[in-house]
Each structure stands twice: as structure tokens, then as C-alpha cells.
Structure 1
Amino acid sequence: MEAMSTDRSAPAVPATGTWRAKVPGLALAVALALVATAVGTAVPVVGGPVAGVVLGVLVGVLVRRRADPSSVAVLSPGLTLASKLVLQVAVVLLGARLSLAQVAQVGVGSLPVMLGTVVVCLVAAAVLGRLLGIDRELRVLIGTGTAICGASAIAAVTPVVRASGSNVAYALSTVFAFNIGAVLLFPPLGQLLGMDQETFGLFAGTAVNDTSSVVAAATTFGSVAADHAVVVKLVRTLLIIPIVIGLAVLVARRDRLAAGDAVGAPRPPVWRLVPWFLVGFLLLATLNSIGLVPESWHGPLATAAAFLITVALTAIGLSTDVPALRAAGLKPLLFGGALWLLVTLSALGLMALTGAP
């Protein structure tokens, strides 16, 4: 039976004449995303994106078992659109939540902790991932998801590295599992270590990934901690920018080497390697920074971004190769756990060294 899959070579923007073919898959992804959003609203610590990818995987398995191959194939064009263009538009809208002035708000003392944990995590992901024999795509997805901001970071790097649906699903599940651990363990750990509200806000904003989990952990500790954690978390999201640019350069170099034209062929300028959706993300963040995005728009745009990410990740779940997930085994989960532990310990260590906040 033919499996649903996203065509990595397909253009991000489909031809006008093919839109009708994309309706079935896109409609299914949107419908399941609405259910996932309701689940995420009822259980904030889970969140819509994680609920979407899980629901997508489950429904995808049922569709493959009960439908004939031609019925399954009908869904593919719409799922490809949702997992590419919809995801890229969602990343653009994330910029509306950010202000470049927020970097100053968190204070210079907070930045060493934030940057230090990111560097530790990314270096460990590269080294430990190779030692454990983790697939390169999975190393990138779990590493960036753990280092920066969970589902949002995974969403941003997925189109750049052209990650497979099964790897995206595994990475999201891994990051989510340790987010739950952080929500349960970090508040009592903060009490045990005698942290004040702002200190715990920095800790939660640095060592927890998805926004929903950051808010859940910090709110348990106190309202001041929650406010500080959200600001730290939003500034941390800005690190998506250099990560995506760096990955785009590496992927372009890898493609040139694979084509055998590394020697003598002109290299494209760096600006051509910057994905269009990252330019849109920066533009929207800049407009917000200078006050051209009304504050009354922040909530609706953030809601729209969250829903579009949920639609895209639901489509990725529907396209997931479940046997490939099983074949991955437990090593990626152990890899994600090791990175989560390193981020937690490095955050605590850097906070002690710098006296932050």
C-alpha cells in the first residue's frame, strides 16, 4: 500500500492549477489541527503542535490500513503543502511576538546563561549524536529543539534541512517528553535551591523549551517568575535566526559536494541561502520593534502562528512512516535525555558563575 509522504523536491509554492488536488489532504490536516488545538487548550502542558503530530500519526496509520492506495495518494499533495508552505508562513508570524528591544529587557546578565546553554547543547548534539550513531537529521532536530525553543525551532529548521516526517515526529515526541519532566521537577528543584522569582524565571526560560511548558513550570513557582520566564523565552527564540542561516549554508555546501561541483563552481552569495520565511520573520520582528505592529494584533497573530504550526505538524504526523519510527529505537530518546540534562546542568552552573539574574 502506498504511504503518504512529503516530496522533498517539490516547490514550496504550488502551481495555481494544482490547488484543487491539494484540498483533501489540507482539509484533513486542518480538521485534525482543530481537534489538536482543543486538546492543547484543555491540557496546556501538552500544547496543540504535539497533540497534532500524535493525532496525525494515529489517523495516518488508520488511513493506511483501511483505505486503498489511490485514496491514500489523494491526500499527498495537500499534506505536502501543509508541511511546507503553511509551516513557513507560521514561522513568519512568530516574528510578530518578538521585539528586538526585549534583548535589553532581560538584562546583560541573562544573556551569558542563555547563550552558554545553547552552545553547550549544540556542541553536545554534534559530538554525542555521532558517538551514538544518531541520524544526522535527527541530531539537528533534537539538538535545535532542545537548545532553543522546542516545536518552534523544529518547525523553523525542518524546511531548511528537508527533514523526513518520521524524524520530525520523533524529535517532537522526544523534546515533549522532557518538557513534561521539566514542568514536574523544576519548581520543587527551584524551591530546594532557594531560588527567588526572577532567578527561577531565568532558569525556566533557559532550560525549558516550548512556551506552554515554560509558562506551566514558571507559573507553578509564581507570577513574577512566569513574567520573567516568558521574556527570556521570547529572546531565546531570536536565536532561531543564526541557527537557520548556518544550517542553510551547511545544507547548500552539502548539496554542492553531493553534485560533485565543489571545486571550480561559483558559490552562491550568502543572502541567497537565507530562506524567504526567515526574512519575513525578521521583517515582522523589526516592524514590531518600531511599533508598527499594533499591540492588539499580538494575540491574534500568535494564535494564528500556533494554529498554522499545528496544521503543519499534523500533516507531518499524517505523512509519518511509523515503521521508520520503530526502527529508530531508543537511542534518539536517550540522546534527547542527555541533551536535556546537559542544558539543565549548564543553566544552573552558568547562573551560579555569573550571579544572574
Structure 2
Amino acid sequence: MNHENKLRISAIHQMLLQLASSNFQYRIERSEHNDEIEGLVVTLNMLAEELGDSIVHEGLRNKDSEILDIVQMSFILDKNDLIWHASQKGLEILDIDWKDGDKRAFIEFLNNGSKKTWKEFRSLGEGAPFDMDMVLSLKTKSHLILPKKMYVSRMVGNSDNEELTVVTLIHHTTHQQKLQDELRDKVMKSKKIVEIQIEKTKFENPKRSVALTQEDIRQIRKARELISKYPEKSYSPIRGLAAKFGMNEFKLKYGFRVLYGVTVYKFHTDARLRKAQLMVQYSDIAIKNIAYRTGYKSPAHFSRTFKNKYGFSPSELRKN
């Protein structure tokens, strides 16, 4: 196998790892080849796009969360387009090894098509401030492509040396005002529920009264994020999960019910089944293997739990 094909196979391997970890943002850069490897590249890119769209528009990954503007990465460039500063998130996403004093050209992290777009853009209106957006495809260290809309702002000072360009990637933005209003209402509702539940607990059982501090709420949210990200893992006994976030078992269980209206166990089960549903619906992985990959020790137990949740079995979903 020649060196180019080895790189193409390596990119496919990295893409599969990203898909397996529920990261559907990346794409593999297309080549001019017309072979089986290229066919697999096309298939994986389409699969990632379909999975990403289903999660964003149908809320399958986390039906309780809101879609908001998320700044994923930002870069500050000097007048020569050298990166002066980069956000930590951007470095992680692109898998960049950054050291103090590094100044690397921004164009290094673009694929060939985007390099041409960037050069054309930089040739327009040099020396003048502006704000605009464009679609660019960033290239990771593992040869994956991240096609995203970028917001580019050039800021000009009193001298040429003060010219800076800020490039920002926004992951998603939809119906922002409506979502902000819904988020505000949900926060206020949650605060009221917390107050009622605390008073109710104190009245019914003064020996077990609980007051959730802001730090408690932060740690409970972190526990929820951990379960959402890795639903295939086991979090039993709960006291082990509670200890990980610096609280006792009772406070974690109580806080989870107050903040999210479900028990830790039910939330974990729902998160695990949502991941399994995606894998059944959008992959050719055998159902028994999906059961094991989502943390079930028995395919039969997985099928029963799945049917109890959705009203149909995994095999019925796969057939349709």
C-alpha cells in the first residue's frame, strides 16, 4: 500500500473513532480517486452529516437541553495571518500542539479549497476594517476536515502593526431569542422547584433536610454531563459517582430529582437507550453488539428495556 492510501485509511480510522464517541462534526477530505476507499469516505461523510442533523433537529442526544450559540474556537491573527493567540477549545478540536511563542500561519490549518478562498478574501480591501462570514474547512492533525461557517473581523489601529484579524467559529445558532426565553423560563422554574422541594423536605423529614448550594448544583450538572457523554459506562453504586463529584449519595440523588425531575438511574437508562437507538437506526452494527457497546450485559435484557421505552424492539426498528 502506497503512502497516500495509508493516509486515507488513517483518516477513515480517525473518523470512525469520532463517530463512535458521538462526535459528528468532522468530515474526511475528498480526493480525486475513484476507488473503494473513496466510496467509504463518501459513505462516512454522509453518515456523519445525517447523524449530526438528527441530533440537532430532533433532539435525540439530549431532549432536555436547548440549542444555543456555542463559540467553539477563535483565533487572533496578525497582519501576516500568523496566529498570535488561539482558544484552548480550538487547539483541542484541531489537535494542535501549541507552545508559548509559537506563531503558525492560519492557512496551514485549511484544506486546499479553503486555502484558495482565504487567499482571495485577503486580497480584497486590504487595510480596511470589516466584518463578514464565510465557510471554511479546517484540517486536523489526523487529516479530518471540519467544515464550518467562520465569522471574520479585521480591526485596524493607528499603525499597520496594530492590524489584527479575529476568526471565530460558531457551532450552531437557531431561533436564538426563542431559545433564550425558554432557557430563562426553565431556570426560573427550576429555582422555584428547588425552593418548594427544600421546604417540603424540611417539613416532612427535618433529619434529612437538604439545601443545595451553587457548588452542589455545579457538581450535579457535571455528573449529568458525564452520564450523557458516556452512557455506556456503569455508574452503580451511585455513591461512587457521588464521591467523584465531592458529595454524598443522598444529596446527588435528591439534587438530580430536584433539578431534572428524574432519578439518576432513569436518566442514565434514557441516555443509554438514546445512543442505542441512533446506532440501531443509522448503522449496520449487529444488535447484540450494540447491546454490549451501550453497556448492556445481555442482548435479551437490552431488547426488553428498549421495547419498554419505545414500544418496539430494536430489530423492528432496524427492519423499518
| TM-score bracket for this pair, using the shorter chain length | under 0.3
Could you state the TM-score of these two structures normalised by the residue count of structure 1? 0.22
* Larger RCO (CA under 8 A, 6+ residues apart): 1
Larger % of strand: which?
2
Could you state the TM-score of these two structures normalised by the residue count of structure 2? 0.24
Larger % of helix: which?
1
